[in-house]
Structure 1
Amino acid sequence: MTDDPKRVAMISVHTSPLEQPGTGDAGGLNVYVAETAKELARRGIEVDIFTRRTTGETPIVGELVPGVRVLHVTAGPYEGLPKEELPGQLCAFSAGIMQAGLSLPEDHYDVVHSHYWLAGQVGWLASDRWGVALVHTMHTMARVKNRHLAEGDRPEPRGREIGEVQVVEAADRLVANTEGEARELIELYAAPPRKVSVVPPGVDLTTFTPGDRKDARVALGLPVDGDLLLFVGRIQPLKAPDLLLHVAAELLRRDPERRRRLTVAVLGGPSGTGLARPHGLEELADELGIADVVRFVQPVQRPVLAQWYRAADLVLVPSHSESFGLVAIEAQACGTPVVAADVGGLPTAVGDAGILVEGHDARTWTDAVEALLVDEELRLELGRASIRHASGFGWDATTDRLLAVYQQAIHDRTHSPIAEGEGLVGVPRAVIP
């Protein structure tokens, strides 16, 4: 059998690549799955993406592009089921995948690629049932997130940690976004180094392109002159959008005249623990006395998102934890400088083309932002460096590396713990009475 895959089964239980990134549970994972699937299809590789059906109107089978099918599996109620409750539906989801596979030849798929730990649990079973290699991408990890919790945020449950450990053991190959994430897999999850491959995510270099800032502002109905600070992402404590508002308040405290020329835009929707206070940011803007300069914008399609990036003077990415940071690389591809937290994969995403800030002290962040706002030449220089940096992160390069991982997994496939005699998940058969 050749090591070149002809058909790939991707699994993304909790969010569909068809959903709008920036709200609910849709984010960088959605973009990653959709873009790599499309790139694989361009290479003549068929991709089936299995995801949970969340509305009765959603077709069972849809097409993302020719060669990429999205198969919606019914598992639990369509609406009102948060991600935290999805572990209880993994059996139903797995049964749905097995049912879908009954009509396929036994050797139909060459590799299973699961995304996020929930999908990894399902992928473990599917790869064993189909006798093919399992490749897994964590995207985020409980033990990492729990080390960098925002104040008042809820830690990830121990059940998720256990589930992630099991997936690490079961996978034939683990894909890490950065060298730092690879170290975390090895040090925090005891992943064998030989199983871990680094594959940086990409950016759509045909959509996220440089453009005229004033033209972008006109198109978006924004003031042509003045300073625009932008946050893009899901509204939840992990992403720290509140820091942007505190920075804006501090800027106005230092220079009240700046109010006439400052606009702060928060583009995204509530998600995760942020759903507990869906209007928390609006309330914070009122408390800080900056509601008049803040705009809250619902998630938009990517061509419009690119216009927002072009319109901004600076994009802030203040996350407490980030496996990579697609927002940062998208903004840079549009020529907009990024000020980001020095955490997780953001140093890789930002490189030397942006500013990294340690910690989440509002005054420290304000110092960095203010320095760039008053130095137009430095902003322009960083903008040019950003374009050069982002040019090396196209999805074609990501998919080339991903294909190499698939080939290695197919060639070196090991037996999963199920096949090696573990009758219960994580429990050797010898200890079962």
Structure 2
Amino acid sequence: MLSVHTSPLHQPGTGDAGGMNVYIVELARRLADLGIEVEIFTRATTGGLPPAVDLAPGVLVRHVDAGPYEGLAKEDLPAQLCAFTHGVMQAWAGHRPGYYDLVHSHYWLSGHVGWLAAERWGVPLVHAMHTMAKVKNAALAEGDTPEPAARVIGETQIVRAADRLIANTAEEGDELVRHYEADPRKVAVVHPGVNLDRFRPLGSTPSGEAAAQDQPRNPGHTPGTGLTAARTAARARLGLPQDALIPLFAGRIQPLKAPDILLRAVAVLLAEEPELRSRVVVPVVGGPSGTGMAKPEGLQKLAARLGIADVVRFRPPVGQDRLADWYRAASVLVMPSYSESFGLVAIEAQACGTPVLAAAVGGLPVAVRDGETGFLVEGHDPADYARMLRRFVPEPGAADPAGTLVARMGAAAARHAQSFGWDTAAARTADVYQAAMQERRRLRSAHAAHGHG
């Protein structure tokens, strides 16, 4: 596997580390469980890193020296691809011929290294875009910087070179065909997964039984009661009020993810219902990233300008277990993104029993069942988000302090998330690998036979 611009060992939610990091780590682990050994090549971003680190049994992370360790923006990485490729080839030279069976590259920068490596080694290239320049540029946030033409050209070349393209959703597969003229036969749809052992309502049984307690199987049993207890406990652990509306933003702080839309929506809500101010807490968990780096304090200043600095709580990125607690504590996760290839955060939150309010973009309509596990909003008008947030305001004295809608949708969300386990994603990815290798063998045989004739 190739992950040039972000290391699977980095903390998601800051810099360029996000859902893709989680994706690579979890997928590699589960592929190793299936007996597929994985080596992940990534760029060294600090000095003194060991050349190779065991991430898990059967998963090795290799650090490649390419460019300065720190202070190198993602936009400057294309100039380092030659050095990175050299590092990959050096590692390969130390192995017997035929050591690597297949290359799986993540994001366009890795795709260029993968293209060369796969060709050099005579193995298939499987590529996952994760995001696409043409799709991002078609839905830019106001004031955000468009992706450069060099990336568009690079992505087009990779689409042509790859043996297989993995898309997170059917819509992403269609975009590959529409925007990049991908051969539909090369495109395989594999939904990303979620770690159901980590992201679950606390008190539930790991992996597979997360929502069982919320099924109304016994007379007198109320759906969502287990979730209510989990939410109450999480709020206590995080020092959050029990009877508050808590809309959570979790992720990288950049215009693409649109955390400002949540703040503007809360300002609209409080302007219309000022009595709610004492019962609203808005946690923003994450660090500046991408074009958001230019104004790292921008969101704090916006909260002050909107007059809601007293209800917003900024928190740095946290580890996965702590993040699960933030999900459990929230009334609703808010994802007003302008573009999302899938929206892993939406599945993680739902697995914890929390509904999602999201923009109807990219893979989010697959991740969220509109009206059942959350709500999808067309466009980015803060007033539309405010109107939806109002539905999650708990009634004073309600059985569930977070509100009955939260309890009902949260139970449905936890059930829905069960179909997104990483084991399923890994098995389907392994099928894609198998198909790519079989086709490569078939073409080689046909070529040899033709040459012989």
TM above 0.5: yes
Aligned equivalents of 2:411 and 2:282: distance in 1? 23
Q: Is the 8 A contact 1:16 1:52 kept in 2?
A: yes
Instruction: Give the C-alpha shift of residue 368 in structure 1.
Output: 1.0
Tell me which residue corresponds to 2:415.
388
Tell me which residue corresponds to 2:232.
214
User: Match for 1:405 among 432, 438, 443?
Assistant: 432
Q: List per-residue Cα deviations over 1:80-118 (Å, max 9, x = no partner).
A: 000000000000000110011111112111110000000
Tell me which residue corresponds to 1:161.
152
Aligned equivalents of 1:414 and 1:14: distance in 2? 31
Instruction: Give the C-alpha shift of residue 371 in structure 1.
Output: 1.7
User: Match for 1:259 among 271, 277, 299?
Assistant: 277
After superposition, the Cα gap between the structure-2 partners of 1:246 and 1:415, relative to the gap in structure 1 and judged at 3 Å, is farther
Q: Is the 8 A contact 1:133 1:414 kept in 2?
A: no
User: Match for 1:18 among 9, 29, 39?
Assistant: 9
Instruction: Give the C-alpha shift of residue 42 in structure 1.
Output: 1.1
Name whichever of 210-219 and 11-20 sits farther off.
210-219
Q: List per-residue Cα deviations over 1:41-84 (Å, max 9, x = no partner).
A: 11222110000000003211111111100000000000000000
The residue identity in structure 2 corresponding to 1:92 is A
Tell me which residue corresponds to 1:367.
387
Aligned equivalents of 2:422 and 2:73: distance in 1? 30
In the TM superposition, what are the counterparts of 1:97-246 in structure 2 within 5 Å? 97-211=88-202, 212-246=230-264
The residue identity in structure 2 corresponding to 1:276 is A
Tell me which residue corresponds to 1:270.
288
Aligned equivalents of 2:8 and 2:240: distance in 1? 30
Aligned equivalents of 1:75 and 1:182: distance in 2? 32
Q: Is the 8 A contact 1:172 1:414 kept in 2?
A: no
Tell me which residue corresponds to 1:355.
375
Tell me which residue corresponds to 1:302.
320
SS at match of 2:191: coil
Where does structure 2 lack aligned partners over 5 or more consecutive residues? 203-229, 396-402, 448-453
User: Match for 1:69 among 60, 76, 83?
Assistant: 60
Aligned equivalents of 1:201 and 1:382: distance in 2? 22
User: Match for 2:406 among 359, 379, 398?
Assistant: 379
Instruction: Give the C-alpha shift of residue 400 in structure 1.
Output: 0.7
SS at match of 2:440: coil
Aligned equivalents of 1:225 and 1:184: distance in 2? 43
Instruction: Give the C-alpha shift of residue 414 in structure 1.
Output: 8.5
The residue identity in structure 2 corresponding to 1:286 is A
The residue identity in structure 1 corresponding to 2:234 is A
Aligned equivalents of 2:240 and 2:394: distance in 1? 20
Instruction: Give the C-alpha shift of residue 351 in structure 1.
Output: 2.4
User: Match for 1:326 among 344, 347, 363?
Assistant: 344
The residue identity in structure 2 corresponding to 1:344 is G
SS at match of 1:351: coil
Q: List per-residue Cα deviations over 1:110-142 (Å, max 9, x = no partner).
A: 110000000000000111111111000000000
Aligned equivalents of 1:329 and 1:403: distance in 2? 22
Aligned equivalents of 1:126 and 1:373: distance in 2? 54
User: Match for 2:86 among 95, 102, 109?
Assistant: 95
Aligned equivalents of 1:90 and 1:173: distance in 2? 22
Q: Is the 8 A contact 1:14 1:52 kept in 2?
A: yes
Fraction of identical pairs, as percent? 61
Superposition misfits of 4+ residues, deviation over 3 angstroms: none
Q: List per-residue Cα deviations over 1:212-245 (Å, max 9, x = no partner).
A: 1111011112223311110011000000000111
Tell me which residue corresponds to 1:283.
301
In the TM superposition, what are the counterparts of 1:70-85 in structure 2 within 5 Å? 70-85=61-76
The residue identity in structure 1 corresponding to 2:129 is M
Where does structure 1 lack aligned partners over 5 or more consecutive residues? 1-9, 421-433
SS at match of 1:291: coil
Aligned equivalents of 1:143 and 1:411: distance in 2? 32
Q: Is the 8 A contact 2:3 2:106 kept in 1?
A: yes
How many pairs were matched up? 408
Q: Is the 8 A contact 2:243 2:394 kept in 1?
A: no
Q: Is the 8 A contact 2:245 2:392 kept in 1?
A: no
Aligned equivalents of 1:34 and 1:230: distance in 2? 25
Q: Is the 8 A contact 2:196 2:351 kept in 1?
A: yes
Q: Is the 8 A contact 1:168 1:189 kept in 2?
A: yes
Aligned equivalents of 1:304 and 1:179: distance in 2? 32
RMSD: 1.4
